[in-house]
Amino acid sequence: MKNNSKSPVPKIRLEKRRGNSVTIIAGLHTYGAERLEEIAKALKSSCGAGGTVKNGTIEIQGDKADHIRAWFSKNAA
């Protein structure tokens, strides 16, 4: 994955759902479903957590925002 000035910037936020934390990565919907699935798979593996792709966002279980920011810095999705 190459760093490109026109690449979308991931917007990472934390949500609480039924007492559990979920880290939401938005702003990458222009990549398309297939690439989002690839990124989600890599993030789930890196974080050691479950997750999914819904409506153009990636959801990772738990408070993994710092880890995900570091992952995006390293991999420049």
Which CATH number goes with the domain that contains 25? 3.30.780.10
Residue at 20 is within a domain:
yes
* Residue 29 within any structural domain of the chain: yes
Q: How many CA atoms lie within 13 A of 65 on its CB side?
A: 11
Enumerate the β-bridge partners of residue 20. 17
Q: What pTM was estimated for this model as a whole? A: 0.86
pLDDT > 60? residue 46: yes
Q: What pLDDT is attached to residue 3?
A: 54
Alpha helix segments (H runs only) across the chain: 33-47, 65-75
Number of domains within the chain: 1
- Please tell me which residue, 24 or 5, carries the higher pLDDT value: 24
What is the overall mean pLDDT for the chain?
90
**46 in a domain, yes or no?**
yes
Say if 2 falls within a structural domain. no
50-77 pLDDT tens trace:
999 999 999 999 999 999 999 999 986 4
Look at residue 18 and tell me if it is in a domain.
yes
